[in-house]
Structure 1
Amino acid sequence: MENFNEYQFTRAKEKVDNIKSFYSNLLSYCIVIPVLAYINYRTTSFVWAIFPAFGWGVGLLAHWMKAYGYNPILGKNWEERKIKEFMNQNEF
């Protein structure tokens, strides 16, 4: 039972670390992209700032999906269900 509690603690800590990392990434995005847009506005008429905003935005979306366990392909809690399935089979 102690191993299970350690496992739960480890999983919870990983989840909190992922969420914390996501918010750090979001804060960086909210600071850097407007600065790039301002530089773009002041230097040229070509709107190049949309490319890093889009690319980083896609990465940010993927980071959010990982942090909050959203997986549109495999469904919610897929990983946990598979772990329980393999633990019940005792076939490692």
Structure 2
Amino acid sequence: MDNLHEKKLQKAKQKVEEIKKFYKHVITYVLVNLFLTFVWTFSFKIFGDLVFSNQYNSEGFKHIPFWLVWGIFLLFDALKTFGFITFFDKKWEEKKIEEYMKESDNL
């Protein structure tokens, strides 16, 4: 019974750490994008005519806004953190580790 409690405690601590990392990601996202939008105007090309920029004029953004691209990654991070995306989660990691350990035993 004590071992079960220890496992639950460990999983709870891991979940709290994941949530803390996510909130740090959100704060970084907001602060960096505020800085980039109001203080530093920049643009850079990735592939051909694909340009990321936080520069805007009266018609809107000239190029794909950096905050939008980063925001998409932030959204996926939120979905993973709060359990909506289960690809490559801890259970998947544990399963793969066990699989590779069994494979190495067979060698």
Answer whether TM exceeds 0.5 for this pair. Answer: yes
Structure 1 runs (4+) deviating above 6 angstroms are none
Whichever of the two has the greater Rg, that structure is 2
Q: Deviations over 1:4-61 (max 9, x none)?
A: 1111111101110011111101001110001111222xx78x9712542122111111
Percent identity, aligned pairs only, is 29
Return the structure number with greater helix share: 1
Residue 47 and residue 66 in structure 1: after superposition, are their counterparts in 2 closer, same or farther (change >3 A)?
Answer: closer
Q: Which residue of 2 aligns with 1:17?
A: 17
Q: Which has the higher contact order (CA 8 A, sep 6+)?
A: 1
Return the structure number with greater strand share: 2
Where does the alignment leave 5 or more consecutive residues of structure 1 unmatched? 84-92
User: TM-score, normalized by length of structure 2?
Assistant: 0.56
Q: Which residue of 1 aligns with 2:72?
A: 58
User: TM-score, normalized by length of structure 1?
Assistant: 0.64
RMSD of Structure 2 on Structure 1 (CA): 2.7
Aligned residues: 72
